C-alpha cells in the first residue's frame, strides 16, 4: 500500500516535471523564433527554434502537444506583434490578435504530434514530410482565414537572408517554409539523444540531407540583371508628426511634408524617371480639395517627373484607399489602383456592434474601408515615352503572395508597395513588412520599392537584397537605378496552386494522423499494450 502511494507520487512528480520542462523549452523556442525576424533578424534561429520544439512534440500526448504549441506560440506572437499596441492604443486588440495565431500554433503542435501514429510516421522521411506539411497547411490556413487571414510571421520571410531564398522562385513562401521545417526535423533526428534515434545510419542520413539542402541552395543563384532596361526611381518619405491623427486633421499638412522632400529632387537635378510617394501621402482627395491639388500640381510640374501618389476618398459614409500616377502639367490619371484587401479591425470593423462594446479604440474607425475589385497592376508613362508596367499593392497587401503574382502575370516589371506606417511609430513593423517585400522580389525576380510616409522606405534588388533604406519616423528621400525584368518564375505562374496544395496536403496529413491516433487508442483499450504497440509502429 505504501509502495503504491509512493509510486503514484513519483509518477505525479514526473508528470509535473515533464509539463514544466515542456513549457520552458517551448517558451525558449518561441523566443528564438521571434529573434529570427526583424528587428533582431538572426535567420538561422528559425531552425534551432523548430528543432527544439519538435523534440518535445515527437512523443507528446494530445494535452502536452497543445500546451507546447500554446507556449511556443505565445512566446513568439506576443513580442512579434507588439506594434499593435501603439497602432490601437490598447492591449485588448494586441492580445486578441495574438491569441488567434497562438491557437494556430497549438493546432499545428497537436497535429504534428499525431504524425507518429501514421504508417512510417516514426521514420525519418515520414516525420519530415508529415510535420512540414502540417506546418505549411496551418500557415496557409491562418494566412487566409478568418476574413482575409493574417499572413504575418511566415517562416519563409527571414530566409530572404539565407541560402534558402534561392528556392523562393520555385515555390514561394510555401516551399521555403516547408524546407525550414524539414531542415529542423532533420536536425532534431541528427542530434537526438533519445535511444530510439541512436542509429548511426539515420543520423548520417539526417545530417547529410541538411548539408545537401544548403549546398543545393547555395549553388543556385537569383538573377539581378535588367531584361527591359532600367528605371531611375526616387522615393519621397515626407514623415507624419505624431500623433498622426492630429497631423492629418490639418488640411494639407501631410501633403506639404511630402512636397518639401519632393522638391529636393528638383534641386539636385537627379534625372529620375519615376518618383513614388507613400500610401495616403495626400491627406485629402485632390479631385475635390483645391489646397492639396495645387500643392501637388505645383511640385510635380516644377520637378517634371511622373509621380505615384496615394490618396483617400470619402463618399456616402464609405471610404476608399487609392494610388495613382500624377503627371507633370496634366495632373492625376483617371486610372487608379484601389486597395483590394482591407485589414479587419484596422481598416474595417467586422461585427461592429460587438467590437465597439469591447474595444473602444477599434470603434474609433467610424468609416469602413471598401474593398476594390481590380487587378494589382498599374502603368507609368515616363517622359522618354516608355510605359512601365508595375505590380502594385498597398501596405499590408504585400503579405498576400497571390495578389502580387497576379500583377506580375499581367506584365508588371517591378513591384511597388506604397505604405503608411505612422501608426506603428518606431516598432519593428515597417522592417517586418519590408522583409516580406524583399521575399516577394526574390520569388518573382523583380526589383521592388517600399515607399513609406514615415519609414522604412526601401529600394530592393530582384534577388531580395537591399539597395538602400531610410530611417523610421523621419523625413527622407531615396533614389537609385533598378532593373526592369520580364521573365516569369515558376511561383509567379503557379502561386495559387502552391497555396491550395499546402492546404490540401496539410489537411490530409492532419486528419490521417488524428484518425490513426484514435484507432491506436481504441486498440489500447481493447487489446492491451501489445496491440497498442503494433498500432503505433
Q: What is the pLDDT of residues 310-362, one digit of tens each?
A: 999 999 888 999 999 999 999 999 999 999 999 887 777 676 555 555 444 44
E-assigned strands of 328-465? 331-338, 377-381, 387-392, 415-419, 448-452, 458-460
Contacts of 371 (CB under 8 A, 6+ apart): 339, 340, 341, 342
Query: What pLDDT digit, counting tens, does each position of 100-145 carry?
Result: 999 999 999 999 999 999 999 989 999 999 999 999 999 999 999 9
Q: What is the pLDDT of residue 361?
A: 47
- Copy the grid coordinates of residue 1: 500500500
The answer to whether 177 touches 157, Cβ cutoff 8 Å, is no
Q: What is the pLDDT of residue 484?
A: 98
Taking every pair of Cα atoms in the chain, the longest distance, rounded to a whole number of angstroms, is 96
Grouping H, G, I as helix, E, B as strand and the rest as coil, residue 476 is strand
* Element at 103 (helix H, strand E): helix 91-114
The Cα 48–Cα 28 span in angstroms is 10
The Cα 129–Cα 126 span in angstroms is 5
Low-confidence ranges of the chain (pLDDT < 70): 1-15, 194-198, 269-270, 349, 351-366, 521-537
CA angle 62, 66, 69 (to 5 degrees): 135
Closest by CA position to 480, among listed 454, 452, 459, 451:
459
The answer to whether 180 touches 159, Cβ cutoff 8 Å, is yes
Q: What is the pLDDT of residue 198?
A: 60
Q: What is the pLDDT of residue 90?
A: 84
- Copy the grid coordinates of residue 186: 532533420
Grouping H, G, I as helix, E, B as strand and the rest as coil, residue 326 is strand
Half-sphere exposure for 309 (CA within 13 Å, toward CB):
33
Backbone angles phi, psi at 204, to 5 degrees: -65, -45
Q: What is the pLDDT of residue 463?
A: 98
Cα–chain center distance at 364: 26
What are 481's strand-pairing partners? 232
- Copy the grid coordinates of residue 388: 512601365
Q: What is the pLDDT of residue 353?
A: 58
Cis omega (within 30 of 0) on the bond before 146? yes
Burial 423-452 (b: 16+ CB within 10 A, else e): bbbbbbbbbbbbbbbbbbbbbbbbbbbbbb
Annotate 178-243 with DSSP letters as a single string. HHHHHHHHHHHHHH--SGGG--HHHHHHHHHHHHHHHHHHHH-----S-SS-EEEEEEEE---PSS
The neighbour count for residue 205, using CB atoms within 10 Å, is 16
Contacts of 289 (CB under 8 A, 6+ apart): 251
Burial 255-274 (b: 16+ CB within 10 A, else e): bbbbbebbbbbeeeebebbb
Q: Let me know how many helices (H) and strands (E) the chain has, helices first.
A: 16, 12
Closest by CA position to 54, among listed 74, 85, 33:
33
Q: What is the pLDDT of residue 460?
A: 98
For cell 522562385, name the residue. 169
Closest by CA position to 427, among listed 473, 464, 459, 362:
473
pTM of the model: 0.93
Crossing angle (nearest 10°) for helices 401-409 and 490-536: 150
Amino acid at each position: 500500500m505504501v509502495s503504491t502511494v509512493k509510486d503514484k507520487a513519483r509518477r505525479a512528480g514526473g508528470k509535473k516535471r515533464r509539463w514544466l520542462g515542456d513549457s520552458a523549452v517551448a517558451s525558449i523556442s518561441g523566443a528564438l523564433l521571434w529573434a529570427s525576424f526583424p528587428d533582431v533578424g538572426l535567420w538561422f534561429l528559425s531552425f534551432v527554434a523548430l528543432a527544439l520544439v519538435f523534440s518535445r512534440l515527437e512523443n507528446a500526448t494530445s494535452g502536452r502537444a497543445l500546451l507546447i504549441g500554446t507556449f511556443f506560440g505565445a512566446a513568439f506572437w506576443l513580442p512579434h506583434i507588439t506594434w499593435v499596441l501603439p497602432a490601437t492604443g490598447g492591449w485588448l486588440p494586441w492580445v486578441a490578435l495574438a491569441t488567434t495565431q497562438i491557437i494556430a500554433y497549438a493546432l499545428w503542435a497537436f497535429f504534428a504530434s499525431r504524425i507518429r501514429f501514421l504508417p512510417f510516421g516514426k521514420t525519418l522521411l515520414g516525420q519530415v514530410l508529415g510535420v512540414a506539411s502540417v506546418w505549411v497547411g496551418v500557415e496557409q490556413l491562418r494566412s487566409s482565414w478568418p476574413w482575409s487571414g493574417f499572413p504575418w510571421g511566415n517562416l519563409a520571410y527571414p530566409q530572404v537572408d539565407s541560402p534558402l531564398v534561392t528556392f523562393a522562385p520555385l515555390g514561394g513562401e510555401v516551399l521555403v517554409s516547408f524546407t525550414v521545417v524539414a531542415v529542423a526535423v532533420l536536425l532534431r533526428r541528427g542530434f537526438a539523444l533519445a535511444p530510439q534515434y541512436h542509429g548511426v545510419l539515420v543520423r548520417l542520413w539526417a545530417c547529410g540531407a541538411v548539408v545537401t539542402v544548403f549546398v543545393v541552395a547555395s549553388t543556385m543563384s537569383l538573377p539581378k540583371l535588367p531584361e527591359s532596361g532600367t528605371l531611375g526611381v526616387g522615393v519621397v518619405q515626407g514623415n507624419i508628426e505624431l500623433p498622426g491623427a492630429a497631423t492629418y486633421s490639418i488640411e494639407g499638412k501631410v501633403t506639404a511634408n511630402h512636397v518639401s522632400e519632393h522638391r529636393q529632387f528638383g534641386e539636385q537635378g537627379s534625372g529620375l524617371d519615376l518618383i513614388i510617394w507613400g500610401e495616403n501621402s495626400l491627406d485629402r482627395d485632390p479631385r475635390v480639395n483645391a489646397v492639396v491639388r495645387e500643392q501637388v500640381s505645383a511640385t510635380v510640374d516644377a520637378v517634371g517627373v511622373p509621380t505615384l501618389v496615394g490618396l483617400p476618398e470619402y463618399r456616402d459614409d464609405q471610404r476608399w484607399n487609392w494610388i495613382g500616377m500624377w503627371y507633370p502639367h496634366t495632373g492625376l490619371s483617371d486610372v487608379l489602383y484601389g486597395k483590394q484587401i482591407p485589414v479587419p479591425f484596422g481598416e474595417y470593423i467586422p461585427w461592429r456592434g460587438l467590437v465597439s462594446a469591447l474595444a473602444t479604440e477599434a470603434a474609433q474607425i467610424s468609416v469602413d474601408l471598401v474593398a476594390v475589385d481590380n487587378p494589382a497592376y498599374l502603368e507609368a508613362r515616363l517622359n522618354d515615352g516608355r510605359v512601365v508596367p508595375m505590380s502594385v499593392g498597398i501596405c499590408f497587401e504585400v503579405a498576400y503572395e497571390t495578389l502580387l503574382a497576379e500583377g506580375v502575370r499581367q506584365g508588371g516589371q517591378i513591384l511597388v508597395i506604397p505604405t503608411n506606417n505612422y501608426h506603428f511609430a518606431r516598432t519593428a513593423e515597417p522592417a517586418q513588412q519590408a522583409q516580406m517585400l524583399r521575399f516577394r522580389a526574390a520569388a518573382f525576380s523583380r526589383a521592388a520599392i517600399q515607399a513609406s510616409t514615415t519609414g522604412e522606405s526601401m529600394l530592393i534588388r530582384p534577388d531580395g537584397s537591399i539597395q538602400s533604406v531610410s530611417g523610421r519616423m523621419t523625413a527622407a528621400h531615396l533614389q537609385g537605378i533598378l532593373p526592369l525584368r520580364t521573365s516569369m518564375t515558376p511561383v509567379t505562374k503557379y502561386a495559387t496552386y502552391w497555396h491550395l496544395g499546402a492546404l490540401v496536403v496539410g489537411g490530409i496529413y492532419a486528419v490521417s494522423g488524428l484518425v490513426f491516433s484514435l484507432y491506436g487508442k481504441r486498440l489500447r483499450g481493447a487489446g492491451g499494450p501489445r496491440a497498442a504497440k503494433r498500432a503505433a509502429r
